[in-house]
């Protein structure tokens, strides 16, 4: 039974990924600051303590592991980006990467593969179509993504295959962006931001998890991989489709100015940005999207609401 170590395994993506890995017969070790909070009734699932900064207490587990999946990092969407918040966003990612590299350096047997989380924020807000070979953009999120990806690149020096998952907007029923949007639309207050022409590159949580496992199991995949649907949507269409699935109107056009006034740089780079990203690597390696189209993806998550 192959053992997978996951950092950030108690988060939105991590919990879904853990369950999928267990269903496929993997053994999973989830690193967390508070393992006592989590009870496992599955012998192949364990929780190990770590401080988010070092390899103390868990580094020896690397010797027995097939892979490390690094999803750790402070949320970018929880609060306005103050200087303190931006520092936490960056440092949490760099500290996690440093700890993983330290564990690999000390290991007598290194893992086969390290899958490093990143985001399509790497590309910044741009009008052109973007693929894995596109250059990084400008701004806070691109700067974070560049350093985040680099934080574990040293693993390749030890013979570890390194994959970087650049994830788009992940759609899940009770988590992520939809958790914030659904009540607004349920209260008949739904609308779209700005002029609605900006591109949203999204992915269903099931496809996100399957894409990570696809990269885990495909030895030919190395480097950056865009985890997004092959069908990005413009914002107006995205929000109107969400409204349709929820049987609610989408009538409000929310101007950019108040959003920028309220959220500052976070609004410009996260809510109002435009990114038309394509999953060239996944397509070229024959990945099968379960939910490539937006309506079907949203319907699968929200049709019973």
The whole-number average pLDDT for the span 22-30 is 97
Alpha carbon distance 28, 45 (integer Å): 5
159: pLDDT strictly greater than 90 = yes
Confidence class of residue 129 from pLDDT cuts 50, 70 and 90? very high
Q: Which two tokens stand for residue 172?
A: 């899940």
Comparing 38 with 189, the larger pLDDT belongs to 189
CA nearest neighbour of 220 among 272, 269, 281:
281
Question: C-alpha distances in angstroms, 262 versus 122, 259, 270?
Answer: 24, 5, 13
Give the per-residue pLDDT at 127: 87
Q: How confident is the model at residue 234 (pLDDT cuts 50, 70, 90)?
A: very high
| Rounded mean pLDDT, 38-59 | 88
Query: Cβ(226)–Cβ(282) under 8 Å?
Result: yes
| pLDDT digits 0-9 by tens, 247-263 | 999 988 888 887 888 78
Per-domain residue ranges for the chain?
3-171+203-229+277-290
Question: Among residues of the chain, what percentage have pLDDT more than 70?
Answer: 99
Q: How confident is the model at residue 174 (pLDDT cuts 50, 70, 90)?
A: confident
117 bridge partner residues: 165
Is residue 40 pLDDT above 80, yes or no? Answer: no
The average confidence (pLDDT) of the chain is 94
Q: What pairs with residue 28 in β-bridges?
A: 4, 45
| 199-222 confidence digits (pLDDT tens) | 999 999 999 999 999 999 999 999
Position 305 pLDDT exceeds 70: no
pLDDT band (50, 70, 90) for residue 296: very high
DSSP assignment letter at 129: E
In the chain, where does DSSP find H-type helix?
Answer: 12-23, 83-106, 140-150, 176-186, 205-217, 235-246, 256-263, 265-266, 280-284, 294-302
User: How far apart are alpha carbons 196 and 193 in whole angstroms?
Assistant: 6
Mean pLDDT for the stretch of residues 165-193: 90
CB 18 within 8 A of CB 43: no
**Tokens 């006034």 sit at which residue?**
261
pLDDT band at 6 (very low <50, low <70, confident <90, very high): very high
pLDDT value at residue 179: 87
Q: Which fold has domain 3-171+203-229+277-290?
A: Rossmann fold (3.40.50)
């Amino acid at each position: 039974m192959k053992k997978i170590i996951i950092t950030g395994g108690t988060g939105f993506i991590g919990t879904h990924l853990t369950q999928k890995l267990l269903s496929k017969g993997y053994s999973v070790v989830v690193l967390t600051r508070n393992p006592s909070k989590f009870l496992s009734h599955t012998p192949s699932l364990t929780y190990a303590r770590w401080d988010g900064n070092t390899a103390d207490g868990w580094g020896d587990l690397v010797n027995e592991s097939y892979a490390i999946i690094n999803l750790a990092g402070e949320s970018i969407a929880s609060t306005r980006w103050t200087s303190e918040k931006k520092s936490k966003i960056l440092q949490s990612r760099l500290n996690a990467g440093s700890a993983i590299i330290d564990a690999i350096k000390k290991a007598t047997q290194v893992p086969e593969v390290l899958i490093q989380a990143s985001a399509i924020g790497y590309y910044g807000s741009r009008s052109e179509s973007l693929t894995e070979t596109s250059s990084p953009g400008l701004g806070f999120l691109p700067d974070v993504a560049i350093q985040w990806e680099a934080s574990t690149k040293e693993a390749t020096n030890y013979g570890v295959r390194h994959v970087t998952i650049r994830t788009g907007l992940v759609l899940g029923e009770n988590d992520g962006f939809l958790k914030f949007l659904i009540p607004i639309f349920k209260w008949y207050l739904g609308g779209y931001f700005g002029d609605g022409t900006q591109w949203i590159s999204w992915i269903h949580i099931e496809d996100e998890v399957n894409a990570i496992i696809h990269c885990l199991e495909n030895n030919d995949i190395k480097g950056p991989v865009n985890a997004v649907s092959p069908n990005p949507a413009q914002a107006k269409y995205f929000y109107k489709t969400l409204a349709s699935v929820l049987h609610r109107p989408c009538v409000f056009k929310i101007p950019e100015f108040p959003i920028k006034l309220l959220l500052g740089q976070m609004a410009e780079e996260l809510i109002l940005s435009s990114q038309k990203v394509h999953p060239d690597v996944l397509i070229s390696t024959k990945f099968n999207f379960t939910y490539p189209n937006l309506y079907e993806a949203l319907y699968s998550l929200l049709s019973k609401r």
